[in-house]
Amino acid sequence: MTNELKQQIEHARDNWSKVAKENGWYKYPFYIQVWHDGTRLLDAVSHKDMTKDIIILDEDYDQDWD
């Protein structure tokens, strides 16, 4: 994982922690789920029941949602 990708993940964590604090479901430690392509962040989510960070390489996540 590149340093740039690590920084993007931390930025996503900061953004989601602000959302969680504003909506009353922030707790420490704070976890997020991210998708990346090896060099850049593709998406990030969080929710009040997460118990660990989940980092998914896009090519490993081949889910058919239809």
For the segment 17-21, the average pLDDT, to the nearest whole number, is: 97
For the segment 21-34, the average pLDDT, to the nearest whole number, is: 96
CA nearest to 38, candidates 13, 5, 3, 63 = 5
- Give me the chain's average pLDDT, please: 89
Q: Say which amino acid occupies 36.
A: H
Contacts of 55 (CB under 8 A, 6+ apart): 9, 33, 34, 36
- Can you give the pTM of this predicted structure? 0.81
Kindly indicate the confidence band of residue 65, based on its pLDDT and cuts at 50, 70 and 90: very low
For the segment 36-41, the average pLDDT, to the nearest whole number, is: 91
Domain ranges of the chain: 3-60
